[in-house]
Amino acid sequence: MARIEPAETLFLAPLSRPAPGSAGRTGTWRVVKPVVDLDKCTGCMLCWLYCPENTILKTGEGKVRIDYEYCKGCGVCANVCPFHAIEMVVEG
């Protein structure tokens, strides 16, 4: 078996991401949802990097949009956004 050097481990770790919607379809039970203010969003993709469900998608305009069918409303994206461009809104 090939020996994995620590540096390689660090490099490979971020490449392990969940499939979109690993928690299943969430639209029926989610209680809050993230809403992106596109005027504030700079397209830095930090939210994409941290989303545990891989449900943040890059748009053609260099911004992001949420896949509400699978987003579970955890709020991680809103917490990590350095520009406060994501607000968690109660489902109505």
The binding site for ligand SF4 (CB under 6 A) comprises 34, 36, 41-47, 51, 53, 55-56, 64, 66, 71-77, 81, 83, 85-86
Q: State which residue, 6 or 92, has the beta carbon closest to ligand SF4.
A: 92
Taking the C-alpha atoms of residue 26 and residue 63, their distance in angstroms, rounded to an integer, is: 23
Q: Closest approach of Cβ 2 to ligand SF4, in Å?
A: 34
Q: State which residue, 8 or 17, has the beta carbon closest to ligand SF4.
A: 17
Partnered with residue 66 across adjacent β-strands are 56
Taking the C-alpha atoms of residue 92 and residue 14, their distance in angstroms, rounded to an integer, is: 35
